[in-house]
Amino acid sequence: AVIGASRSPVKLGAIVLKNIIESGFPGKVYPVNPNADSIYDLTCYKDISLLPEAADLAAVALPASLISQTLMQLAGKGIKNAVIFAAGFKEAGEEGEKLENELKDLAQKYQLNVLGPNCLGFINNLCPINVTFGKPVKLSGNLRFITQSGAIAASLFDYCNYAGLGFSQFITLGNKAVLNENDILEYF
């Protein structure tokens, strides 16, 4: 599910949705936007509660101020995995730190796996799926990357495309509020 999917091609939710579709992801994709009936020829759902099933993953393209409410809605729907792209958490000062602590508490309470916040997302070319708002790398390969920084990831995407280098998986961690390097290494 792409929460905050958009019809405007310059918005984060539109870019993430487009990257998922263009990556060749073989599963179902559910855009969520209260103001749209369809996006990219996909039925759009007005609310998380209206999704036809609990998605395996929620890519959340909403502002920091809406994340806690969204996590509670995801938990209510039975969605256990989320990527939070929004900035404005502990890196933004005291108010952001409060938001991030609330995110951590909700993740623990509802047993949610949260990548981010403040991350670029992830790519898994083995699946395939691109859950980022970055320019996708065209080639698959055997390399796996983990980085905290979305800027480093975007630079590596550009370099990989330039050099003809592919990878199998690329994960950006952002603030590491819930999932961190140890979790990703264990997954690998």
Residue 70: HSE in the Cβ half-sphere, 13 Å Cα cutoff: 25
Summarize pLDDT for 133-147 with one digit per residue, the tens. Answer: 988 787 899 999 999
The β-bridge partners of 82 are 58, 114
Q: What does the alpha-carbon distance between residue 92 and residue 156 come to, in Å, rounded to a whole number? A: 25
Q: What pLDDT was estimated at residue 86?
A: 98
Q: What does the alpha-carbon distance between residue 78 and residue 130 come to, in Å, rounded to a whole number? A: 23
Give the position of tokens 């065209």. Answer: 138
Contact 168, 143 (CB under 8 A): yes
Cα distances from 51 to residues 56, 73, 145, 149, 183, in angstroms, run 12, 11, 32, 32, 29
DSSP letter string, 3-25? ET--SSTTSHHHHHHHHHHHTT-
pTM above 0.85, yes or no: yes
**Structure tokens belonging to residue 96:** 């952001």
Q: Residue 169's closest CA among 147, 150, 158, 161?
A: 147
Q: What pLDDT was estimated at residue 136?
A: 77
Contact 75, 107 (CB under 8 A): no
Strand intervals (E) in 41-157: 42-43, 58-60, 81-84, 113-115, 121-124, 129-132, 140-147
Low-confidence stretches of the chain (pLDDT beneath 70): none
